[in-house]
Amino acid sequence: MDEATGVFLKALASDTRQQMLAQFSGVGELTAGEIAERSGLRPSTASEHLRLLHRGGLVEARKEGKQIYYRIDGPTVDQRLSVLRDYLDDCRLPPTDADGTPLPVPAYGQGRHGGRPTVWDRLKESVSAMQAQLVARKNELRSGAFRDASMAMCALVTAADGIIDPAELRRVSQLIATNEVLQNFPSDDLQRRFEENLDRLTPDFAAGRAAVLQEVAKVRKPDEARAVIQIGIVIGGADGQFVESERAVVREACRALGLAPRDFDL
């Protein structure tokens, strides 16, 4: 599945944005103000969600005077759905022969049809490898600096596109609670620190991001610094959609820690 389709799915994976899309039914075009009013949102909040919907290819915009009108981007939606359909077809049970016997499934690390691995194969392998490396060093990753930097990293990934989506928040909170390495620390303490970092990002994302990156940069030990980046990749890639905005904040964290993003295939 390509990057654009991943962004499309992430834009759609929000109850709020789904509600906003439903407002277009039967009306064609709406202004941002009309969408906000119909959805019960503040104009600034609606504008942020519309930005993500536009980026995901779900809506298109045109300007008329001082007004911006939005409508469903039918051609792009059709194209994204076609890619998604092909991807899901590729994930289905393997074909069978004339007797109904399943044909061999390609070995792990190959694409479903053999040959070079798909993007999803490579991402899954990378995330699995990094998690295994973290688990192998679990007993060494017990410091307060690692704990705090990891929660800052998780917050950056959660809000990578500038919005803290409730579904994404629940997903990351669950991953934090179940990650074997992070279980070195009390889960309620991790959640509190995670939410404190999210609170820093809420009023002004740009300023908050700088503050949260400073929290990441407090890690001094090289092994812990690498582990923090690996935590970010594991959390971001766990759903198979390690999109560019998430990769970008992890690259920023690399630079804050004096690490080369290329060392992590970023």
Domains of the chain listed by start with CATH number: 3-74 (1.10.10.10), 119-264 (1.10.3680)
pLDDT, tens digit, 9 for 90 and up, residues 13-49? 888 999 899 998 878 899 999 999 999 999 989 999 9
Q: Can you give the pLDDT at residue 28?
A: 81
Q: Over 80: is that where the pLDDT of 108 sits?
A: no
pLDDT, tens digit, 9 for 90 and up, residues 178-188? 999 999 999 99
Cβ-Cβ contacts under 8 Å for 105 (sequence gap 6 or more): 94, 112
Sign of the C-alpha dihedral computed for residues 68, 31, 70 and 170 taken in this order: positive
Q: Over 70: is that where the pLDDT of 172 sits?
A: yes
Exposure of 111 by Cβ count < 10 A (0-12 exposed, 13-18 middle, 19+ buried)?
middle
Q: Over 50: is that where the pLDDT of 110 sits?
A: no
Q: Can you give the pLDDT at residue 99?
A: 66
Check: pTM over 0.75? Answer yes or no. no
